[in-house]
Amino acid sequence: MSQLTDDTGVLATDVLIIGAGPAGLYGAYYAGFRGLTVTVMDVLPQLGGQISAMYPEKPIFDIAGFLSVRGRDLVDGLVAQAESYSPRYLLGHRAAELAYDADGLPVVRSDQGATVRAKAVVVTGGVGTFTPRPLPAGEEFLGRGLDYFVPDPSVHADRDVVVVGGGDSAFDWAALLAPVARSVTLVHRTARFRAHAASVEKVRALGVEIVTDCEVSRLIGTDRAEHAEIRHRVTKETRLVPAGTVVAALGFLADLGPLQHWGLELQARKITVDTRMATNLPRVFAAGDITDYPGKVRLISVGFGEAATAVNNAATVIDPEAALFPGHSTEKEH
């Protein structure tokens, strides 16, 4: 299953998967299972998509067969599963341009100058490129006490931590940091939370102080943040709390980037697909959170099935004589 580069430096592959999150990694495995060569392209420098970038230590509960699996462990398992078929990875490459060659095959060029000619493309880009919503106060302390993600909770051991936000990520990180930090304070601008009620109760039970109807108005420190000023949104009263780390979990802004200029049919910044996970463009399929269709449910577990559906249908486009369903993996020799 070697992948070839021609005299012009163009990489030839059967399937190009754009996005190295869970759906993309499972798609890489499944394409290999079908005997197809695979190249995976992702703008992030590491595999795993949002899981690796945002919550590698977070327990995930919607993966079939696991009561709970840590994000990092899920990614490691998916990478190992795909590796049995030797996919090629182009990390740190944003898929920039899509064209078609004289034979009607998709040719994708990255922002780093890599060119891939594929027989089919599967887009598994999650929410697209994501950037955190900035904390209005204290941006000058970014990297010096202000963080937007918590890839390694041990970095914050024995620190006073302030988490800002009221969604699932804010409460997940508060729960993750509570056992290792000296103290954790969660600050939210209202008394209503977007997080699941069970997550809120878990954080309360861990002894985290939850401050509502307040916002962080500024960060104070010299070389790095040392205190956070918390201001009540109604009374305007302020108080200082120790803050060696401030984690701003205010959500993120998603952007499809260059994909939105490829001519794909979009609905609310999602790629419209049919039951085959095919888009409106020839030989281009999509799977995972980036897709939209009636009844769509955005779960990692759903993305796995969509990736398999996309790859199986791509296989029949690549080879019209190929069977749509290749049989069960238990029937194959590995």
Residues in binding site for FAD:
42, 50, 55, 95, 130, 289, 330
Residues placed in the known binding site? 42, 50, 55, 95, 130, 289, 330
CB atoms inside a 10 Å sphere around CB 137: 19
Contact 57, 74 (CB under 8 A): no
Specify the DSSP class assigned to residue 37: -
Angle between helices 300-318 and 22-33 (to 10 degrees): 40
Give one DSSP letter per residue of 61-93, joined into a string: --STT-S-EEHHHHHHHHHHHHHTT--EEEET-
Q: Locate all alpha helices (DSSP H) within 145-207, ordered by sequence.
A: 168-177, 197-205
Using the CB atoms, write b or e for 144-181: b if 16+ within 10 Å: ebbbbbbeebeebeebbbbbbbbbbbbbbbbbbbbeeb
Q: Which of 219, 144, 158 is nearest to 187 (CA)?
A: 219
Q: What are the angstrom distances between the C-alpha of 231 and each of 214, 218, 219, 254, 283? A: 5, 9, 12, 29, 54
